Chains A and B, each alone.
Chain A
Amino acid sequence: MKVVIGRYVPGSGFFYSMDPRTKIIALILLMIATFLIDSFALMLGAIGLIVLLMMAGRIGIKRVYLGLRPLMFLLIFTFVFQILFNRQGEILLSRTVYYSFLSLALAVGLVVFWFFTKKFTRFKLFYFVIMVAGLYAIFTEIGNVSPFATGTLAIYEEGLSMAAFIMLRLIIIVTLSTILTITTKPTDLNLGLEHVLKPLKIFRINTEDIAMIISISLRYIPTLLDEANKIMLAQASRGVDFKEGKLKDKVMQIVSLLVPMFIISFKRSDELANAMEARSFTPGATRTRLHQLSWKRLDSVAIGIAFLALSLSIVLRISPWI
C-alpha cells in the first residue's frame, strides 16, 4: 500500500499520547489560522513551526512527504492554473505562443516521450520540470514555423504569488491532517469525532449514529478489499482479463465485479445488523465504552497553543503594522 493519507502508523512521541479530541480541534484551529495568514514570511514561518513540531513529535518528514506525493498532481495543477489565469498586478513575463503543426507535433511527441521514459529516472520531479521547460521552448521559440494561430503567455505578479500561496496552504493543510491520521488510530479518531460533533445534538443530529456509521465503514474497508480481490480471482478463472480488453469488454468486466460486490455487501450489512441486534444494540440508546478518553495536561497545553496560533494570525491579519 503506497497511500499514506489516512493511514495509522504505530510509533511513539507526544502526538501519540494526545487525546484525539485535542488533535481534531487543534487541526481545525490551525487550518483556520493557515487561511488567515496573508504574508509570505508568516507562511514560511508557519511551515518552519510545523517542521519543528514534527521533529519534536518524532514524525519522519519523509512519511509526510510520501503523503503529499499523491497530491502532487493537484498541487501542480492549481499552481499552473493560477499562474495562467490570474491576470492581476504587474506583468512579469509576456511571450508570444505559436501554434503550428510543428509545435503541436513536437509537444505531443515530448509528452509521450516523457510519459514512457519517466519510470527509468529516479529524479521524477526534476524530469518533469525539464519536460515543462521543453514545452515552453517548443511553443515560444522552436514552433515559430508558419504558425496558424498565435496567443500570448503572460505571467502576472499577483498570479505567481497567489499560486505559491495556494500551494503552500495546501501543503500545510495536508501535512497537518497527515500528522493527525498517522498518529491516531481510526477507532480513536472516530471516538474523538463523536465527542467533537456532540454540539450538533441541538440540531437533532445524532452524533453517535454518525460515529457508528463511520466506524463500521472504516472497519469494512479491508474486508471489502479482500472480497473484491476474491471476486476478481473467481472471474479471472472464467476468463475475465482485468488488465486487457476493449471498452465493451471493460464494461462487462466491471459489471462482473460490481454485482457480486453489491450482493455480498448487502448480505453482510444485513448479517451485521442482526448480529448487533442479537447483542442488544439499540440505535440512539446511551452506550458505555470500554476505552474512555482521558484529558491530560498535555491536551490543555496543546489546545492553548493552537488557540494562541489562531489569535496571533487574526491579530496579524487585521493589525495595521504588517
Chain B
Amino acid sequence: MAIKFEHVSFQYKSIDNKGYLALDDVNVVIENTGEFITLIGETGSGKSTLVQHMNALLTPSKGSMNILGVKISSTAKENKDVQFNPIRKQVGLVFQFPEYQLFEETVEKDIMFGPKNFGVSESEAKKRAREAINIVGLDDSYLSRSPFNLSGGEKKRVSIAGILAMEPDILILDEPTSGLDPRGRDALLEVFYQIHTSLNKTVLIITHDMNTVYEYAKRVLVMREGALVYDGDPVKLFSRKNIDNWNLDVPDIIQLKDALESNFHLDMSGTIRNKKALLKRLEEVLS
C-alpha cells in the first residue's frame, strides 16, 4: 500500500470565496509495485487534481492521505514537518503540457534538472539522461539540441524523459499521448507498459482514449464531478450498463466484437482486449 487516500476532498478557492469542489470524498489505494492503472473521466472531472495530490503538490482540504508512509492531512499545522521533496522523487508526475517545464538550453540539461535537484551527481545524472532519452524513443543526437526547437511530440517525450531520469517508484502521466500521432502514441504506450513489466513499477495514466484503457490497463479509475465512481477491472467497466451516464466511449475492439456477434452471428466469447486476440479468435471461429 503505497498511496492511500481517505475521504479526500479538495476545494479550489475562487475570488467570491464560494470555491469549487474538485475532489469529493475520494477513497483509493494504489500499490507501489505492479499496477498499471488508467484514470478516465470527462474534462473538469478532477483527474488532474487527483494526481496532483498523489505527489503532494496539492494537499487535501478535507480528509487525509498516506503517501509511502508519510501522512498528509488537511491542516497546514499538521503538515508542518512533512518533507515534500522525497515524495516527489518517489512519485514522478509528468504534466500534460511540456511547455510548463522545459527551460534549459539543451535537452540533456533539462533532463538532468530533476535528478540533480534530488542530489544525484553530475556524471550519474548525465548517464541517466542518456538512458531516459533512449527509453522514450529519441536518439542521443537530441541531447545537444535546444528543447524549444523540437516538435510538439518530441517536447512531450523530453518532458517524460525528465521525469523518468528521476527514477521514481510510481510513474504518473497526465495525458501523455495527447497531441501525438497514432504511431508515436502506440510506441510511447508500449514504453510505459515496458517500464511497468520489466521493472515491476506502478504506472498510472490519465487518458481519454478508451482503446488504451481496454488494451493495457489492469485497473481503471473513473472520475465524475470530483467523485471516484468506478475502481476496478476495465472489462467489467465496459460491460456495465451505466457507462453512458459517465460519457465514456466504448472501445473500438468491443464495438467490432459486438458487430461481429450480432451481424455475422460469430461466437466471440472470451476476453479479447486487443487486435491480436481478436484476429486469433476470428481465425479459430472461421476455420
Contact = CB atoms under 8 A, between A and B. Distances in A.
Given A233-B57, A238-B162, A260 B99 contact: yes
Interface stretch (B100-108, B252-260, B277-285): B100-108
Given A1-B15, A233-B52, A263-B148, A239 B166 contact: yes
Interface string A225-242: 001001101111111110
Contact of B100 (A1, A231, A239, A240): A231
Contact of B85 (A241, A256, A264): A241
A256 B113 contact: yes
Contacts, number: 62
B55 interface: yes
Interface string A207-235: 00000000000000000000100110111
Given A233-B52, A263-B99, 5 more contacts: A227-B100, A233-B95, A237-B57, A260-B99, A267-B99
Interface residues of B, number: 26
Is the interface on chain A under 10, 10 to 19, 20 to 34, or 35 or more residues?
Answer: 20 to 34
A213 B181 CA distance: 38
B99 A239 contact: no
Tell me whether chain A's interface is mostly helix, strand or loop, or mixed: helix
Interface of B: 15, 52, 55, 57, 84-85, 88-89, 92-95, 97, 99-103, 113-114, 117-118, 148, 162-163, 166
Contacts of B88: 236-239
A260 B57 contact: no
Contacts of B118: 239
Contact of B117 (A233, A238, A259, A263): A238
Most buried by A among B99, B114, B166: B99
9 contacts: A233-B57, A234-B101, A236-B84, A237-B92, A238-B88, A238-B101, A241-B84, A259-B103, A260-B102
B12 to A, nearest CB: 11
